Amino acid sequence: LQKLIHLLQATDDPLIQEQALITLSNSAAFSVNQDIIRNLDGLSVIGGMLSDCVPKVQEKALNALNNLSMNIKNQEEIQVYITQVCRTVESAPLNSDLQLAGLRLLTNMSVTSDYHQKMINSIPCFLHLLSEGTERTQIQVLKVLVNLSANPAMTRHLLRAQV
């Protein structure tokens, strides 16, 4: 895991970055690896890949963070990327794998109300995706919206959203 994280930092080759991110994502299926990746500062390295100009690299980074977000301690670190993930969801091509990867991460990060405030500005986008997206996109957006709606503090924001 340490070598993969170092490889991500050392290379500019998008194909190598994608493969390293896929491997880290698969490794994150095991809770012990989630802790190891966090302790090796892997979350910030993977999070840095969200700014990459190659959409496939961004998508693989989102998938890795999604798997890593199943851990509460990891969520505490991943939450700094929520606004960036929301922007990615808004700017990604409609129904793209990149958009869906962002929505999946937002779904996991919205299971508890801890980070709902960071998603308020994206509610109009979520509602737009609900009306314009394919069934896959709609289902993923609904998961985020259901999580947000479970928080009474979000009611006003959900009802006042300009669509």
CATH (domain of 21): 1.25.10.10
pLDDT in tens, 88-142: 999 999 999 999 999 999 999 999 999 999 999 999 999 999 999 999 999 999 9
Residue 163 reports pLDDT greater than 80 = no
Q: Rounded to the nearest 5 degrees, what angle is found at the Cα of 23, between the Cα atoms of 22 and 29? A: 95
Residues 67, 84, single domain; the answer is no
Which residues make Cβ contacts (< 8 Å) with residue 160, sequence separation at least 6? none
User: What pLDDT, on a 0 to 100 scale, did the predictor assign at position 162?
Assistant: 81
Residues 84, 145, single domain; the answer is yes
pLDDT in tens, 32-65: 999 999 999 999 999 999 999 999 999 999 999 9
| Cα gap 21→42, rounded to integer Å | 10
Among residues 126, 134, 124, which one has the least CA distance to residue 102? 126
Number of domains in the chain: 2
Q: Structure pTM?
A: 0.95
User: What pLDDT, on a 0 to 100 scale, did the predictor assign at position 123?
Assistant: 97
Residues 10, 35, single domain; the answer is yes
| Cα gap 138→42, rounded to integer Å | 31
Residues 134, 120, single domain; the answer is yes
| Enclosing domain of residue 130 | 80-162
| Cα gap 75→72, rounded to integer Å | 5
